[in-house]
Structure formats: structure tokens, C-alpha cells
């Protein structure tokens, strides 16, 4: 387990966070830039010393400002993936990966480095220097290097931000499988809620140095506790099992009941994402009309006003969120406890394999 | 009328002529045979050999002490840092004669630390060691200044990465920071080397001009120019050739550093 607590001033920002991640789990801290995300990772790694703080990992205390404990970064077993990867330009890919293996005989280091590169499909580029590698290749070398010392904690700073859109989808899938394989707590920061929802078992939304809400991605999207979280979370995420249908659409049996259709292709376990503003609300029991494929019965849990829009937290088999204009919310008389039907088009339903 | 490009070209032509004409003249005025003859004269080889030894020793001291000092100044911030950097750079603007007097006042027999140095059995004035002290004093700011810039421009996350990978700062300094700063360090070393090789005033004031002991090539040139102009010319030619060779090899080293990052 990893526990990070920090209270410290950073220029104009006051960082005040307390986070906990179980082994084998990934907590994604998501928030706008300047919210203090990277500082959380730096406190965990020992690169930033907070005025008040506590860092515990796997039963060891790395930092406890009250007891005067502060291990230097080199004695904390962190696998840290830096935003721009921070590969050493004067070393080849395998030398980068072997770098943390000091004290191991040279031949053994070479063998272990190649093994790690192999795992990321990078064995053929072992002799290449970072300057000659693409963004995706650099990320894989950096991941291999971060894992080389069998870290007790994995820290990932915007792991996909340095990649172009085309590489990102593949890297996202790969990173997801790495995070599922490693048996250590992982702490990831990102400015992108969708990325946080896909990689994190839980997501903490950070704003101005404070984690304003923490929960599973769908909890956050469905029952945002503040307008900021509602706005930031953007998409609704549901999980289920996909299978192709005869009609050319993919049908997804949602976990917990209900089914939706999507124009995306997928098979097996998937995450279904819909933007709340794509979801239309009508009173329960009304006859089906129009072209919407997906209809779920739901109960209104919360009504939050965000500017001229109203965001609804809905209890369907899985939590859901919808956004309607303030005018239609008033017309429909939307309030907590009301039973409604949520509907949206199959074409507005995105599927991502899990 | 396109007068501006013409003016730029003219300025370059004037600068180039002015800067290269004296150098060319040294080689035009002395035939190769004359050159070799004069080198055999009256301790010319002594002066060359002494210059190489003292410059090498000074450069070694500058690099060994200056590199960690520059690294500290580039990576830490502390109160009064700007003053420290300014003090280190001071010899850059000090007139060489003043530098010589200052060294005498500090390290000479009657100087601040003269007694202590004497007690330690070290002889600096009128000794080869004194030449090394003078060269180190005037040349080190050239290296340290460049090295601070070189370390400061290295991405700090490289060092952070090294530390999170379980490697101490000392090892990270040696294995990551120095290689990453290398082109800048080499350039600084070349500047210091060039400055030390041509050092005249401070050496003359502090160490004197004794053939084989403290008479480096620039001092030997001065010593001969009134009595044996061809010999002075020959020594100058050698100094120019060595300096040009240094400049050229630095450019080559930096060129290959750049190529090192290209696909293989």
C-alpha cells in the first residue's frame, strides 16, 4: 500500500492532499495544469520535500516530517515515469534500462535489460540511442527502465502527453496491461479525465492543490460533488461485455443489467463512454419515438447547475450522468427521486476494449 | 538600392582581413627552414616544453576543481550566489599585470599566505609551480563560466530520474550530468587552454622569466623580439599553430557530439 500526505506551500498554490493506493491498484489523479499533480508525485519520490508530510510504502516509512524521517530519492523504491521520459541521451536503450542495476555484473545487467526491453517489444532497438527513437518507443524504454529495479511503487507523470494522437491509443492499451500486471500500488497523474478513467481503478480530481473528490470513474461522472468535478469529468463511463450483432451494431450487455448498442466495433469486456450532453431525458413510461437506440430507465439522484446547464446524476444499473439546459430541466420538473428514461444514439456511444 | 547586404559583406571583409592578416604575416615572414632553425636556438624548445607542461597542469587543476564547483553553482540556489559567481568571474576583467601583483600580494614571500606557503616548503615565486598558479588564476574563470552554463542547460529531470533509479547524486553527476554537459565543458576547457597558453603579464610579474624554469613561450617571444626577431617570429608561429589546432579539434569534437545523436 502507498500512502501520500502532504501539506505545503508551492508559490501561490497550497498543496494539501492525502491519498492511499492499495497494492495492484492504480489511482489516477486528474486535474487541470497547475493544480499540483506533479508535485504529489515528487513528494512521493522524495524530489520535493513538503513542510508537513507522510509517505509510507509497503510498510516502510519514506517520509514523516513529524518524526524527522526523510529518505533521499535513491533510497525510495519508486519506478518514476517522467512526462518527457528523461532518458539519458548519452546511453543506448539497453544502457538506460541497465542503469539502475548497479552492483550487478555487466553481463547479467545486459541480459536483464534485454529481457525487459523484450517484454515491451523493444529488443531490436536495444542499441539505439534515445534521440533516434519515436515517442512511443521512448515511452516503452522509460517504462522498462522504471520497472528494472522491481520498484515498490509506480509513479506515472502524464504518461501519454508526449505522444501524438495516433500512438496514444496503442500506448494507452499497453500501459493499461502493465498496470494490471504489476502488483505494486500505482499513482498516475493526468490532465485528461478520459485517460484517468481508462487507466485508474479510482480517480481523484485535484483542483488548486486539493483533491476535491475521489471515487471510481463512473461514480465521479454520475455524482459529481461540485460543479468543477462535473465539468472536468466530461464523459460517462460504463462497463460491460460487447458482441457484434447481425444489424452491424455492437451490442453491449452492461454489468449489472441493461444493454446498449454502439456503432464502434468491439468484442469482450469494454468500457462504454458517452458524453452527458448526448443523453436526452424524458419522463418515465413514455412511448419510444425517434431514432435513439439506447434507452435506460433511471432515477434522478442529483441536480447540479453548471452555468446555463443542469447536470443530472442518475441511478441506472450503473451510475449515469446527463446534461440538459436549465430551461428543459424546469419544463420537466427534474428533481431528485424522479423516475426518467435516459436515451442516446448508438452513434454517440464510444467503446474501448478493457 | 540594395546597400544593406553590401554593407554587411563589407563589414565582414574588413573584420576578416584585420583578424587574419597578422596571423598570415607570421607565416609569410618566416620560411619553414628558418622556422625550424630558430626553434633549435637558445632554449626555444625549453620554452615550448615548459608551456605545454604548465598549461597541462593548470588545465588539470581547473577541470578537477572547477567542474564540481560549476555544477554546484548551476544546480543549487543559495543566498549570495550571484556574488559568488561574480567573484569567480573577476579575473576575466582583471588586467594581467594587476593579476600578477594580486598574486604576489596573496601568495608572494611577503604576501598574505606567504608565511604558510613557505612553512609548507613550497616555492612559488621564480619557480615553475608559480607559473601554474598564474595560469590557473587567469584561465579558470573561462572554464568555470562555460561549465556553469553547460550544467544549467542540462534537463534537471535527468538527475531526478537518476536518483529515482536508486543512483546517488555523486554517481549521477559522473554518469549522466557530465556526459550531458560535455560539449559545453569541452568548449570551456578549450577557452581556458587558449588563455593559459597565451598568458603573459601575470606570469611575468608573479613567476618571473627564467629560461627553463618560468619562461613560457609568450615570455620567450618577448625576450627575443628585440634581439632575435626571426626566433620570436618562429616561436609565435608555433604558438599560432598550436592554438589553431586546439580550436579546430574542439570544433571537430563538438561536431561529432552532434553527429552522435543521428541515426546509425
Rounded to an integer, the average pLDDT of A4-24 is 94
Residue A195 has pLDDT above 70, yes or no: yes
Q: What is the pLDDT of residue A87?
A: 95
Is B162–A129 a contact, with Cβ atoms under 8 angstroms apart?
A: no
When pLDDT is cut at 50, 70 and 90, the band that residue B202 belongs to is: very high
* Per-residue pLDDT at B176 exceeds 90: yes
Mean pLDDT value across residues B164-177: 93
> Which member of B158, B164, B263 has the closest CB to residue A88?
B158
Whole-number Å distance between alpha carbons of A298 and A289: 18
ipTM of the complex: 0.75
Is the confidence at residue A219, as pLDDT, over 60?
yes
pLDDT tens column, A168-183: 777 888 888 888 888 8
pLDDT band of residue A288 (cuts 50, 70, 90) is low
Write down the mean pLDDT value for chain A.
Answer: 88
A149 and B165 within 8 Å at the Cβ level: the answer is yes
In 3D space, the residue among A159, A160, A193, A189 whose CA is nearest the CA of residue A36 turns out to be A189
Place A163 in a pLDDT band, splitting at 50, 70 and 90: confident
Query: With 50 as the cut, is the pLDDT of residue B29 above it?
Result: yes
Q: How confident is the model at residue B263 (pLDDT cuts 50, 70, 90)?
A: very low
**CB–CB contact B161 A82 (8 Å):** yes
| Minimum distance, in Å, between the CA of residue B98 and any CA atom of chain A | 43
Taking the Cβ of residue B28 and every Cβ of chain A, the question of whether any pair is shorter than 8 Å is answered with no
Of B157, B165, B260, the CB nearest to A84: B157
Interface contact flag, B167 A100, Cβ < 8 Å: yes
Q: Is the pLDDT of residue B222 over 60?
A: yes
User: Cα B7–B11–B13 angle (5° rounding)?
Assistant: 115
pLDDT computed for residue B15 by the predictor: 96
User: Over the stretch B128-149, which tens digit does the pLDDT of each residue have?
Assistant: 999 999 999 999 999 999 999 9
**Contact pairs from chain A to chain B, CB under 8 Å:** 76
- Judged against a pLDDT cut of 80, whether residue A71 lies above it is answered with yes
pTM of the model: 0.76
Query: Distance of CA A255 to CAs A33, A111, A191, A218, A233, Å?
Result: 34, 44, 28, 12, 21
What is the reported pLDDT for B257? 55
Q: Between these two residues, A274 and A154, which has the higher pLDDT value?
A: A154
Average pLDDT over chain B reads 88
- The share of chain B scoring above pLDDT 90, in percent, equals 59
Which neighbouring-strand residues pair with A30?
A190, A205
| Buried-exposed string A120-151: b where 16+ CB fall within 10 A, e elsewhere | bebeebbebbbeebeebbbbbbbbbbbbbbeb
Chain B interface disruption, residue of A89, A98, A112, A127, most B CBs within 10 A: A89
What confidence score (pLDDT) does residue B159 get?
93
Amino acid at each position: 500500500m502507498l500512502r501520500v500526505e502532504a501539506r505545503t506551500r508551492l508559490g501561490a498554490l497550497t498543496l494539501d492532499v492525502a491519498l492511499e493506493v492499495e497494492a495492484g491498484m492504480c489511482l489516477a489523479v486528474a486535474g487541470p495544469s497547475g493544480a499540483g499533480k506533479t508535485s504529489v508525485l515528487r513528494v512521493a519520490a522524495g524530489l520535493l520535500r513538503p513542510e508537513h508530510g507522510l509517505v509510507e510504502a509497503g510498510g516502510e516509512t519514506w517520509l514523516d516530517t513529524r518524526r524527522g524521517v526523510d529518505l533521499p530519492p535513491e533510497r525510495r523504491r519508486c519506478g518514476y515515469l517522467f512526462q518527457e521520459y528523461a532518458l539519458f541521451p548519452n546511453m543506448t536503450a539497453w544502457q538506460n534500462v541497465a542503469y539502475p542495476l548497479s552492483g550487478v555484473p555487466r553481463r547479467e545487467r545486459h541480459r536483464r535489460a534485454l529481457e525487459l526491453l523484450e517484454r515491451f517489444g523493444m529488443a531490436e532497438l536495444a542499441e539505439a540511442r534515445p534521440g533516434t527513437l519515436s515517442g512511443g518507443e521512448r515511452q516503452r524504454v522509460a517504462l522498462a527502465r522504471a520497472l528494472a529495479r522491481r520498484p515498490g511503487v509506480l509513479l506515472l507523470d502524464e504518461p501519454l502527453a508526449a505522444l501524438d494522437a495516433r500512438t496514444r491509443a496503442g500506448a494507452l492499451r499497453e500501459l493499461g496491461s502493465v498496470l494490471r500486471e504489476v502488483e505494486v500500488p500505482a499513482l498516475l497523474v493526468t490532465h485528461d479525465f478520459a485517460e484517468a478513467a481508462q487507466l485508474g481503478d479510482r480517480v481523484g480530481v485535484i483542483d488548486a492543490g486539493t483533491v476535491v473528490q475521489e471515487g471510481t470513474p463512473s461514480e465521479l461522472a454520475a455524482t459529481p460533488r461540485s460543479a468543477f468535478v462535473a465539468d472536468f469529468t466530461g464523459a460517462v463511463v460504463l462497463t460491460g461485455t460487447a458482441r457484434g450483432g447481425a444489424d452491424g451494431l455492437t451490442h453491449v450487455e452492461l454489468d449489472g443489467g441493461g444493454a446498449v448498442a454502439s456503432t464502434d466495433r468491439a468484442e469482450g469486456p469494454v468500457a462504454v463512454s458517452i458524453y452527458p450532453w448526448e443523453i436526452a431525458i424524458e419522463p418515465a413510461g413514455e412511448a419510444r419515438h425517434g431514432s435513439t437506440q439506447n434507452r435506460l430507465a433511471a432515477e434522478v439522484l442529483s441536480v447540479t447547475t453548471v452555468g446555463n446547464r443542469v447536470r443530472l446524476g442518475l441511478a441506472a444499473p450503473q451510475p449515469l450522468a446527463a446534461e440538459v439546459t436549465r430551461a428543459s430541466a424546469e419544463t420537466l420538473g427534474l428533481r431528485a427521486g424522479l423516475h426518467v428514461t435516459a436515451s442516446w444514439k448508438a452513434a454517440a456511444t464510444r467503446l474501448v476494449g478493457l | 538600392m540594395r546597400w544593406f547586404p553590401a554593407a554587411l559583406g563589407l563589414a565582414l571583409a574588413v573584420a576578416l582581413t584585420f583578424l587574419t592578416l597578422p596571423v598570415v604575416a607570421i607565416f609569410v615572414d618566416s620560411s619553414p627552414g628558418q622556422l625550424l632553425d630558430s626553434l633549435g636556438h637558445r632554449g626555444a624548445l625549453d620554452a615550448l616544453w615548459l608551456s605545454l607542461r604548465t598549461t597541462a597542469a593548470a588545465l588539470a587543476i581547473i577541470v578537477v576543481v572547477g567542474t564540481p564547483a560549476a555544477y554546484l553553482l548551476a544546480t543549487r540556489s543559495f543566498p549570495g550566489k550571484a556574488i559568488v559567481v561574480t567573484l569567480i568571474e573577476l579575473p576575466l576583467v582583471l588586467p594581467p599585470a594587476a593579476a600578477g601583483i594580486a598574486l604576489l600580494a596573496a601568495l608572494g614571500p611577503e604576501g598574505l599566505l606567504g608565511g604558510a606557503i613557505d612553512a609548507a616548503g613550497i616555492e612559488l615565486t621564480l619557480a615553475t609551480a608559480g607559473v601554474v598558479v598564474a595560469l590557473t588564476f587567469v584561465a579558470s574563470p573561462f572554464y568555470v563560466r562555460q561549465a556553469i552554463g553547460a550544467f544549467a542547460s542540462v534537463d534537471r529531470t535527468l538527475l531526478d530520474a537518476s536518483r529515482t533509479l536508486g543512483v546517488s547524486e555523486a554517481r549521477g553527476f559522473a554518469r549522466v550530468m557530465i556526459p550531458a554537459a560535455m560539449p559545453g565543458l569541452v568548449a570551456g576547457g578549450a577557452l581556458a587552454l587558449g588563455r593559459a597558453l597565451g598568458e603573459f603579464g601575470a606570469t611575468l610579474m608573479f613567476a618571473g622569466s627564467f629560461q627553463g624554469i618560468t619562461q613560457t613561450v609568450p615570455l620567450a617571444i618577448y625576450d627575443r623580439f628585440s634581439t632575435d626577431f626571426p626566433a620570436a617570429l618562429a616561436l609565435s608561429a608555433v604558438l599560432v599553430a598550436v592554438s589553431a589546432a586546439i580550436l579546430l579539434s574542439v570544433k571537430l569534437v563538438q561536431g561529432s557530439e552532434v553527429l552522435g545523436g543521428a541515426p546509425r
